[in-house]
Amino acid sequence: MLEFPLVATEPITPDVSMSEWIVVALIATVVMVAILIVHYGLKMLGKRFGLESYVIVLTRRLLISIIVTIAGIYLLEVLEVQITPLLGGLGISSIIVALALQPVLGNLVGSVLLNGSRTFRPGDQIETNDVAGTVVDINSRSVEIIDFDGVSNFVPNLLVLENPIRNRTAENIRRTVLDFQVGFDTDLRLAQKLVQHAIRQVDGITDIPTAEVLVKGFGESGVDLKALFWHPSEELTAQWVISEVVITIRETLAANDIDIPYPHVVLQRSRN
């Protein structure tokens, strides 16, 4: 039967003296004071420069993590704990963790960039990544958007940064172009004048820039025209104004006996 000699093991940490406990207490006090300074300092800076609350929270967490890490390393040295093997193990582990958390960290950085760039804010109506709606929140992971059907959508921050963004409410007003047709035998100048005057009377249409009606060209079934008009950017209001303009154009043309041509197809019978 094999017997293995017993090997005496030394404790990982030596006995802690009273002076070392005093140093530990001082380090803890300094850390607490530093955290309080960071907390109130960032709070004052946020009020003075109008920083977003989430940016302040993220910066505070980052600074506190740095302070605690530095204090912890110094504390281990005071207590004469061998940290070289620990750091080596942490180095390998940190690489694995960094690779695994790369999307999470990317979205975290993305939230800072989105909050700092002010491309859009909560309350704005935007369109990105095939989602259109009102921005509710920009958090550490995603942008929360409630679409116009009332459904919540969570788009990762990295996708928002990497793809085009259309901010529909960046300005108070925006323009809509509405195409329509009249018959080939229509007095185009009269139709243009009548429709232009009518849509300028619609509620929600701005006076400056003013609404215009232009002739585009010849279509397959009639002459193509387009109405250009400006209205409030908010989506529900915009949809209501567009609806009223369509109704107004139809009623104006009908009241003046101007035909709106229907698409038609001419079939020819081939002879064998």
Which residue, 167, 185, 204, sits at the end of a domain?
A: 167
Which residue, 55, 82, 109, sits at the end of a domain?
A: 82
Whether residue 163 is found in the same domain as residue 204: no
The arithmetic mean of pLDDT across residues 166-191, rounded, is 94
Give the confidence band of 3 by pLDDT, cuts at 50, 70, 90: low
Whether residue 160 is found in the same domain as residue 183: no
Whether residue 138 is found in the same domain as residue 158: yes
Whether residue 179 is found in the same domain as residue 148: no
Which tens digits make up the pLDDT trace of 199-234?
A: 999 999 999 999 999 999 998 889 999 999 999 999
What is the CATH classification number for the domain harbouring 135?
2.30.30.60
Give the confidence band of 9 by pLDDT, cuts at 50, 70, 90: very low
- Asked whether residue 103 is assigned to any structural domain, the reply reads no
Cα atoms in the Cβ-side hemisphere of radius 13 Å centred on 237: 17
CA–CA distance, 83 with 76 (Å, rounded to integer): 7
What is the CATH classification number for the domain harbouring 244?
3.30.70.100
- Asked whether residue 269 is assigned to any structural domain, the reply reads no
Q: What is the pLDDT of residue 209?
A: 93
- Asked whether residue 158 is assigned to any structural domain, the reply reads yes
User: Any idea how long the chain is?
Assistant: 272
- Asked whether residue 42 is assigned to any structural domain, the reply reads yes
Whether residue 141 is found in the same domain as residue 185: no
Whether residue 138 is found in the same domain as residue 121: yes
Burial 129-157 (b: 16+ CB within 10 A, else e): bebbbbbeebebbbbbbeeeeeeebebbb
- Asked whether residue 3 is assigned to any structural domain, the reply reads no
Which tens digits make up the pLDDT trace of 146-158?
A: 999 999 999 999 8
pTM of the model: 0.63
Which residue, 152, 167, 182, sits at the end of a domain?
A: 167
- Asked whether residue 206 is assigned to any structural domain, the reply reads yes
Q: Domain limits at 199? A: 173-255
Q: What is the pLDDT of residue 54?
A: 63
Whether residue 179 is found in the same domain as residue 250: yes
Whether residue 186 is found in the same domain as residue 242: yes
The arithmetic mean of pLDDT across residues 237-257, rounded, is 96
- Asked whether residue 107 is assigned to any structural domain, the reply reads no
Total tally of structural domains belonging to the chain: 3
